[in-house]
Amino acid sequence: MTNTNTSVVIVTGASRGLGAAVARWLAKAQAALTLISRSENKLKDVAEEVRSLGGKSLVFTADISNQDACRSAVELTLDRFGRIDALVNNAGIIRPISSIARSEPDSWRYNIEVNLMGPFYMIQAAISSLRSQNGRIVNVSSGAANRVLENASAYCAAKAALNHFTRVLAAEEPELTAVTVRPGVVDTDMQATIRNEGLNAMSDQQLAYYRQLKERGELEPPEIPGRSIAWLALHVPTEFSGQFLDYDDPRIAEPALKAFGKN
């Protein structure tokens, strides 16, 4: 069982990029973390970082598109830590990078399974424990929920659905605080995938835009939005429930910086 002063947080997609950054910030606050990803070796590396920063960690290798795996992750968290205070649904994929006309239906479906069904499975499995703790759910969304991104139709559709799903969740579950957050354009493997695979699907202008973001240093380091997401997982105000928030909203970014510091 975990000390009542320690927050217990599940973070999906925790082996790299934004999820790993969130985990490191939470570790700095001495949180107890269940780290979920498909990549076991990278997940173990993050777990070591968590422990070195003062947090506790439980590693669970899984694909969150699998409902049984999500249930098992929650059960193991409860067995190890005794409760769940917050859930960060960060795991996500961009593929297929393709026009609607040329997209493979199986790839399109899998995108929805990871980006939308995965958060649903995790929330449904954890909801009883979260209710008892007046818990917090942070669903990592994207500006693509509101913007038209050609050749990313599955990703856009999944993130738009995730936003509205979260609004419904907030209305149905007044004992919880549930939000979605836009993390900005982050320097992660997802951006690398767009630059590499966009060559076969995107217009020259669209591909040049993504490549210039990298070349000009305009991509946000994962640690910056990660800090905001970690703060939301620990401290999101109840009045924010149901909202789609920007990571750099001063109501989030400023208290996050104050709570965690710069490094």
Would residue 155 show up in a list of annotated catalytic residues for this protein?
Answer: yes
Closest CA to 23 of 61, 62, 60, 51: 51
The pair phi, psi for residue 197, each rounded to 5°, is: -95, -15
The answer to whether 202 and 97 are in contact (CB under 8 A) is yes
Would residue 107 show up in a list of annotated catalytic residues for this protein?
Answer: no
Among residues 65, 110, 142, 155, the one annotated as catalytic is 155
Q: What is the DSSP letter of 113?
A: I
What is the C-alpha to C-alpha distance for residues 134 and 89, in angstroms, rounded to an integer?
17
Residue 28 pairs with which residues in a beta bridge?
none
Burial-class residue 259 by CB neighbours within 10 Å (0-12, 13-18, 19+). middle
The alpha carbon of residue 98 and the mean position of all alpha carbons in its chain are separated, in whole angstroms, by 23
Tell me whether strands 86-89 and 8-12 are parallel, antiparallel or unpaired: parallel
Residue 181 pairs with which residues in a beta bridge?
140, 245
Would residue 159 show up in a list of annotated catalytic residues for this protein?
Answer: yes
What is the C-alpha to C-alpha distance for residues 106 and 150, in angstroms, rounded to an integer?
19
Among residues 98, 129, 141, 142, the one annotated as catalytic is 141
Among residues 7, 142, 153, 159, the one annotated as catalytic is 159
String of DSSP letters for 226-247: HHHHHHHHHH--GGGTT-EEET
Closest CA to 124 of 183, 64, 181: 64
Tell me which residues are annotated as active site. 141, 155, 159
